[in-house]
Amino acid sequence: MRSQYDVLLGDRAFGVYADMVAIRKLDCDAVFRKHQSRKTTIRKGKIVGDCDKLVTWHKPKGCPKGLSQDEFFTLPPSITVREIYYYIVIPGFRTQRVSLITTLLDQATYPTLKIVRLYYRRWQVELDLSRTA
């Protein structure tokens, strides 16, 4: 087990297959908001807790922009990620359901609520930056 944890936090622009693979190759973990174009359902995946499941992502059929054919060829056929979703019930917030994708797979070591709080802190930083701009 690592003595230090490197976790990359980001918005939904980063939560793509090739990024997740590259981040894991760097011995880093990730917590991203799930991109709205990636559709998953509650019925797919292994449920590991309330609003929390492990899902398998499969390699895209075609090479995405930004990757060479050689880079695309080296991607594994599939990866397992953890999907956590929660609801925001604060009046005035546009977003009501948030889905996170993470490589922190072990729910016992990385409890759902701690990951949600971590992402919330990232969101607060973004809001604070927009207030000072």
In DSSP terms, which residues pair with 32 in a beta bridge? 10, 101
Summarize the confidence of residues 9-33 as an average pLDDT: 89
Model pLDDT, residue 74: 95
Classify residue 46 by its DSSP letter. E
> What is the residue type of 23?
I
Work out the number of other CB atoms within 10 angstroms of the CB of residue 105: 13
Q: Percent of the chain beyond pLDDT 90?
A: 45
Token pair recorded at residue 14: 């980063």
Cα 33 to Cα 83: distance, rounded to the nearest angstrom: 9
State pTM to two decimals.
Answer: 0.81
Query: What tens digit of pLDDT does each residue of 84-113 get?
Result: 988 877 776 666 788 899 999 999 999 999
Greater pLDDT, 125 or 50: 50
Give the SS3 label for residue 102.
Answer: strand
Token pair recorded at residue 36: 């709205």
